[in-house]
């Protein structure tokens, strides 16, 4: 192992975040998480926009909106009309991200998509543990190749980048950080 301390830190973060995502995704599959649930969550986000706060709570509350008008537009025009698709994407994504992190398979890609999901939750006005999770995912990505030392990536990522050398060049080097 080239970076044992970094690899252990990455492993602990992967296991913690992976378990959290896997159990959340499985829970959503078991409880029938659907378009109605996504719609309710998104409507809660819309209620935190400037215009909604201005109408319901006045100018003072509207100055501290939790959801930007741009994200509110995206919720109204893209996410809500496709809530069923996004319900499937969220619960499947959480399971796949959780498995990827726990098994150490496509680790940095799983961390990237996990971080993006957490940012979407944050942008919709839900704080919860999302900021801490974003920092954990960011740390896994920054640890790069050390996050591959304990897990399935160790066995095939180098072969993958040898078979497809383009994966180890330019911006693609970030999700496929193999040390030469």
Q: For residue range 125-174, list pLDDT tens digits in order.
A: 999 999 999 999 999 999 988 888 899 988 888 788 888 888 878 777 76
**Positions of the chain with pLDDT lower than 50, given as ranges:** none
Q: How far apart are the first and last CA of the chain?
A: 14
Alpha helices in 32-82 (DSSP H): 35-46, 50-57, 59-62, 69-74
**Backbone dihedral region of 142: left (phi > 0), alpha (psi from -120 to 50 degrees) or beta?**
alpha
- The per-residue pLDDT for 144 is 83
- The per-residue pLDDT for 146 is 87
Tell me if 178 is assigned to some domain. no
Main-chain phi, psi angles of 49, to 5 degrees? -80, 165
Tell me if 146 is assigned to some domain. yes
- The per-residue pLDDT for 179 is 63
Question: Average per-residue pLDDT in the chain?
Answer: 91
Tell me if 85 is assigned to some domain. yes
Look up the domain containing 137 and give its range: 4-173
Tell me if 78 is assigned to some domain. yes
Tell me if 180 is assigned to some domain. no
Look at the chain and report how many structural domains it folds into: 1
């Amino acid at each position: 192992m080239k970076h044992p301390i970094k690899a252990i830190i990455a492993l602990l973060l992967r296991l913690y975040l992976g378990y959290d995502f896997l159990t959340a995704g499985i829970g959503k599959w078991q409880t029938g998480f659907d378009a109605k649930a996504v719609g309710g969550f998104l409507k809660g986000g819309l209620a935190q926009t400037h215009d909604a706060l201005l109408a319901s709570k006045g100018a003072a509350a509207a100055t501290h909106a939790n959801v930007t008008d741009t994200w509110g537009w995206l919720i109204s025009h893209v996410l809500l009309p496709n809530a069923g698709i996004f319900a499937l994407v969220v619960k499947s994504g959480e399971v796949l991200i959780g498995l990827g992190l726990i098994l150490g398979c496509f680790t940095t890609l799983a961390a990237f998509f996990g971080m993006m999901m957490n940012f979407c939750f944050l942008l919709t006005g839900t704080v919860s543990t999302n900021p801490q999770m974003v920092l954990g995912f960011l740390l896994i990505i920054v640890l790069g190749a050390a996050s591959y030392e304990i897990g399935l990536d160790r066995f095939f990522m180098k072969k993958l980048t040898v078979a497809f050398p383009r994966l180890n060049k330019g911006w693609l080097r970030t999700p496929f950080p193999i040390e030469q």
